[in-house]
Structure 1
Amino acid sequence: MELANGTTVQEFILLGFRVGQQERFLLLIFFTILYVLTLAENFIIIALVLLDAHLARLPMYILLSHFSWLEMCYVSTTVPRMIFDLSSPQGISSFRDCFLQFYLLFSLGTTEDLFLSAMALDRYLAICHPLHYPQIMSTNFCCVLVAACWVLGFTAFVVPVTLMSRLSFCGPNIIDHFLCDAGPLLSLACPPLGVAPLLCQILVNIFLLGNVLFVALSYSTVILTLMKPSFEGSRRKAFSTISFHLVVVTLFYGSVGAMYIIPDGENQSEVTKAVTLFYTSITPFLNPMIYCLRNDQVKEALGRFQRRKCYGEPSADGSTL
């Protein structure tokens, strides 16, 4: 963590977006509104699942409520800091804060990766094994699945992030990005880098490629099952449900996967910023609308909540709000 002249790196300077003052103000307004809407959307999903007895019993919505909480945490890791930097002349982040953001970003991203696989497993069991679904995807198993996603997501990168934080940084301490990510941080580190970069890359490949393969196989099996004559009556509704899931999966894996195919060149950093911005800010805003707010069961739950609020009708468990 020492510069070439012997001084210690205490902070990093985030260059952020290379735009004029007027554009910075417009971006500040845009991301503030986007952040508030994202929190509101995901909060609505969590509140509906907690308040509606019918949704609270369904494993898919237990997973989705945790997924919404995850999205709120994920977007809060990057956007508030980005908004603050847009409002200040220079984005300065302390060494500790920078690596904390890096750890949270990778941990939450890995947890989201695991949740997408958990939801793919839920749809596979519900459609391909409907008779055994209630016994397999019980409330206890669902809770264990949720806990496993959180614990594994937040423990996977403890070692590589710790190793990277102990590297020597020779300077400059300027990061051409709007957040602290692995690539920009490693580009500032002095050799030897040790095993930290390799370990980080191995873990990313294992989680990303492993979950992509699992999700692809799960939904492929689901689609093939739905093509059978026995599903002719319910095929349209089932396809409608998994199509929303596939859109979310495509948005996440498409944007994250694009980071691996960005060509080298003078505009590489700008393309990297655009792709990172998409999966850290835009997809958390789009996911609630795709996953839940266009879902019939969620619409029915909203209707039940409004009726209970206006007329005091009892909920499914007999209580009133």
Structure 2
Amino acid sequence: MCIMNILVKTFLFSTFLIYSSSEPLGYMVMADSGNGLENMPKVEQIDIDKELQKELNTLESRLQFIETTLIHFKKDYDVLNESYNNMKTQFDQATARINQLENSTQKTRMEVVEQNLKYSDLQSVNSNLQKTVNDTNIRLKTNTAALSTEISNITDEVINMSDMTSRDFASLRNKDLILENKFQEISKNQLSIASTLNQIKFQKRKPVVFVAKLSRDVILSDREIITFDDVKLNEGLGFDPIRGVFTSTTNGIYTFSVLVESTNRAVRAAIYRNNEPFAQISGQLLNRGGALASSTTYVHLDEGDRVWIQWTGDNAMIGHLQSQFTGHLLNI
């Protein structure tokens, strides 16, 4: 509207200049009789009116053209203004989406850092276990050498005792008691060695740990297994990303943690072991249109037992940014 006002003012100013620079036709006749012009014919008033009418019609035609042009210009301006508003709205939406993606990326980076710290802790524990095993092996070698020497000495004493006469029977009996005590000590040492070997065998057990996420959003129906296909860690190779199922390779106590994000439904899921649910996962639908729920549990597994996460609610869209499935064997 400001541009239209400027154009109208420009037109009126131009019209004023035209009228100001034009002299009325009725005054074109010179009145100086001394110059010999008194005999020139005068223009009739009707001719002046006709000329003025022509100029007036021309100006009205121009004014009408300018008004038409201004109308078209206003329409074009309104279209451009509407397009600008639409583009501004799209730009604001894109900016909000970029901010959301940046926040999600920051959360993912924090999760990666946290997982790296956990992995470093596991490596430290494994290093300490290996050091303990090495120290135990050294102690076993030392004890075995000492036992061998002691058995050799006892054997020599038995041989010497067999050469004794009946006069030395009492002394032989005493030595037999001593020998029996030593054999009892050897038996105890053997039991201690066996127990130590069992502990070493338990400590040498390879770590079993996995971390899996979703590579993309997935649509699930009731009783469908959530396939966590983006494997971040899989020590022991027990987790199958194609089926989303973990298979136990070692008897023991395991811990499992699950985080499920639904973008359009309340979270309804469960942790299954061999077709039997043993832990529920549930979360209410929030006002923003999504839900988030987690669960952590412990369970004893035999070799070959299978564990997975199964959706138990209505059809839903599962988000991949926060959903993940982790588990590891506890070395107790």
Fold agreement, TM-score > 0.5 = no
Q: TM-score, normalised by structure 2?
A: 0.26
Bigger strand fraction = 2
Bigger helix fraction = 1
Larger CA Rg, structure 1 vs 2: 2
Q: TM-score, normalised by structure 1?
A: 0.27
Higher relative contact order (CA 8 A, sep 6+): 1
